[in-house]
Amino acid sequence: MIEKALKGNRSYWIWIALLVSVIGIGLSVYNQQRWFGLTVTGMGRDISWGLYIAQFTFLVGVAASAVMVVLPYYLHNQKEFAKTVIIGEFMAVSATMMSMLFIMADMGRPDRILNIILYPNPRSIVFWDVLALSGYLIINLISGWAMLGAEKKGVAPSAWLKPLVYLSIPWAFSIHTVTAFLYAGMPGRHLWLTAVLAPRFLASAFAAGTALLILVSLVLKRSTGFDTGKEAREKLAILATYAGLANIFLLGMEFFTTFYSNVPAHKESLQYLYFGLEGKYQFVSLMWFSLISGVVSIAVLLFPALRRSTKWLIAACSFLVLSIWIDKGVGLIIGGFIPSPLEEIVEYNPTSTEILIALGIWGIGILLLTVLLKVTVAVKMETDS
């Protein structure tokens, strides 16, 4: 079926060429980081995780959100998701691949990943995180491709496929839960030292990932004529709304617990992010933009009349994804390091090296998703005709 990705119109090949160019620039810049190390980034002693881990945290959530279509389709027989479920699985494949690449970029030297493989340590959360991500990538790629192959041949899926799909449901929850544990297990970082971090991770993941799936389906409809169905998009919008409400609620609980307890170590990071601290206001406007855009997006999605409008749906989903991308990137990762355990405020700015490498990794993920969706659309349109 992969040969279907080698056929396309002029716009398709221009898009592929653009992605390949971005990937080429990213690889070229990454080669400099490989030789000179992380000194070419904006990270340092006080802020050791930056743009790479911010992207990793967001993308793990996008990968986990595939369960929002897999679970209702396979367990509750919601047939309106028939054309969406494979797109969700392949989005999970792409997002998981990018997550693993961002981990590799953050390690500075790619050979360090071998330490996890050659010397596995069950006491290490990183070991479980890598194991969960690699397993989830394989499960979604195999199940999605096998399901698509069966549909192309016009036969029932193999008997072994259904247990694999069922396995992907708890696995989806595990990858983001383990990621949350990776942060929450660091006692020196008070912003992450909270029991609601994992639930908040999952709520934000399901909101952003589902909204992104709606946007991808609309792009496919406009560019290829393949329509996943208005009913499926409406149900996904409702799921994104509920997940977004849960995310805002948990954020509110964080604010109440932090400021009502008035424990300085616990409130300083949130104070820095949203109100500034000791004359430092680097992220205040960005965090308030994230909060307001998230609340407004959810408010739009709460009204059925606005939700059914394609223009309003695109705007709401776009700003919801952007809101959570800022909150889980800048807010969670960078904010967790400020102030430092020595009570110092050291601000972080990503270098052009980090930005270009990040764009290169996004290019790899989008190229992979483009190829998988090209095959999916071709097969689906063949079987429908």
SS (H, E, C) 52-69: HHHHHHHHHHHHHCCHHH
**CA–CA dist 274, 108 (Å, integer):** 31
**CA–CA dist 205, 114 (Å, integer):** 29
Tokens of 141: 């790629």
Question: Is residue 270 within 8 Å of residue 191, measured between CB atoms?
Answer: yes
- Other beta carbons less than 10 A from residue 344's beta carbon: 10
pLDDT < 70 stretches in the chain: 384-385
Question: Is residue 290 within 8 Å of residue 327, measured between CB atoms?
Answer: yes
DSSP, residue by residue, 244-259: HHHHHHHHHHHHHHHH
Tokens of 284: 């205040």
According to the model, what pLDDT value does residue 385 have? 62
pTM (predicted TM-score) = 0.93
Please calculate the CA angle 378-383-384 and round it to the nearest 5 degrees. 100
Question: Is residue 272 within 8 Å of residue 345, measured between CB atoms?
Answer: yes
According to the model, what pLDDT value does residue 384 have? 66
Domains recognised in the chain with CATH numbers: 2-247+258-384 (1.20.1630.10)
173: helix, strand or coil: helix
Tokens of 40: 């070419």
The CB-side HSE value for 48 (13 A sphere, CA atoms) comes to: 8
**CA–CA dist 44, 33 (Å, integer):** 14
Tell me the β-bridge partners of 280: 277
DSSP state of 280: B
277: helix, strand or coil: strand
339 prior amide bond cis, ω within 30: yes
Ramachandran category for residue 108: left, alpha or beta (phi over 0 → left; psi -120 to 50 → alpha):
left
